[in-house]
Structure 1
Amino acid sequence: MRLKHIVATIAAAGAIATSAHAEETLSVAATPVPHAEILEFIAPRLAEQGVELDVKVFTDYVQPNLQVDQERLDANFFQHKPYLEEFNDGRGTELVPVVGVHIEPFGAYSESVDSLDALPEGGSVAIPNDPTNGGRALLLLHEAGVITLKDADNILATPDDIADNPKGLEFRALEAAMLPRVLGQVDLALINTNYALEASLNPQEDALAIEGSESPYVNYLVARPDNRDSEAMQKLADALTSEAVREFIDEEYEGAVVPAF
């Protein structure tokens, strides 16, 4: 089940909702994989409870937050708490986490080498250009022994915070969604799992280094203070943390996405 099925399935879910006399519609922004797919999976169940999901698929990390803040959408599902906190601080928004759903272990990928030890002197490394995911990428390389950071607890680390870079690697910060597309142009790319999955990369098989299941970067359903506790939002939160969703994540993503509840 992938993005090409999302529109048709959500439309079908809408038909189910109509037949079930849905009392309320929730518009939710989501990145395609796995977030929109998980929402697609629970849409029929929510329709039976009187809530119709209107899923809006985005491929960036900015508009989903802005549109929820501006009350164009009710909620979003794509981000971890460090990113949300950094976004709120930088944009003056007050978005709030509703419930944690899953972890997407962050990975390092390459088309030119088969191990981190094989990275060439002066090799090029692409990382996300947003502060939290850029720092997350550097922390993974620190844990893997590729570089040494001045502060291993700094989730907002930048290349300027590298204390030791034995191979003289050169870092390029790019928009997260672009990273799979430049994989053939760099020696290593640190890619968020949702974008890796969209690019048909298997994190468990293709990543040269990957976060463990203890990663603190849980992906949350996010809303505004005024609608966080609404009955419809709580039904959505309950559905996202149901045993059925746990089984769906385990079966569909085979370790590339890990339930966090």
Structure 2
Amino acid sequence: MTNRFLPLLALVLLATGASSQAQIRVALAAERSTFLLYEPMVITVQLANSSGERIVLNSGPSDRPWLSFLVRSVDGRKIRSEQPLSLDPVILEPGQSRLLSVDLTPLYAIRETGQYTVQASVQPPGRQAYLTDGLAISVGKGETLWTKSYVDGGSKRVVSLIRFMDRKDVSLYLRVEEPQENLVYSTVRLGKFVAFTSPQVELDAQRGIHIVHPVGARLYRYTRANAEGSVIQQEDRESGTSQPALAARPGGQVEFVGGVEQKQQTERPRLSELQQGI
């Protein structure tokens, strides 16, 4: 585990067998302690076998997951689970460690800004469940810089760009939602936000989303996302004889023009693929 996780660790030592030497260390961590409402809230669980024997973690006959989470608001209210966590068995040989990444956003109904505490519960086979100490996180609202709505299939869809500051950085986010249906398709971080600048946004004929915004001195980032807000492509260009910008083309198409290309365009992996850890 890298040093950036150390301030956020919540540790617990578990007895997982009849022998006092059969022990597993569990650490709960997050890269950040502050999140924008509805963005992926990825929690990392580190498991380490400090015993001299193999430890097998599985759901057992009851099908109850061996790993679960308890999320509470600052006033102690338990946040309900919206879908179960699907887990494969984990086998830890003596001295072996394992990292698991879990996105809590689709799993728990965190629908309000405020302070929350997250605990991991580990259920070794044949033993009682154990809770880690609480990991404190904060969920904020951010500032809407740009928004556009349109009707899709009878429902009003809203596309927004949001400025959000965590404890270290100010970032630009893209959110796509249908407020009347209480449905948020995505809340995705696009990169660093430079103060006193305005992003350029265009929707193409297929409702694809195109965004250009500064990420540094003379450096601009282009993002292309689909109608649900899933990022398909990102590219950085530096200002040269012309400034990078969006240009409308015939047929409702949008093109990224100008500037000096910093790297070749790449297809970006889906967020779900990047965060698969279980």
- TM class by shorter-chain length? under 0.3
Higher radius of gyration, 1 or 2:
2
- Greater RCO (CA < 8 Å, at least 6 residues apart): 1
User: Comparing both structures, which one devotes a greater share of its residues to helix?
Assistant: 1
Which structure is higher in strand share?
Answer: 2
- TM-score between the two structures when normalised by the length of structure 2: 0.23
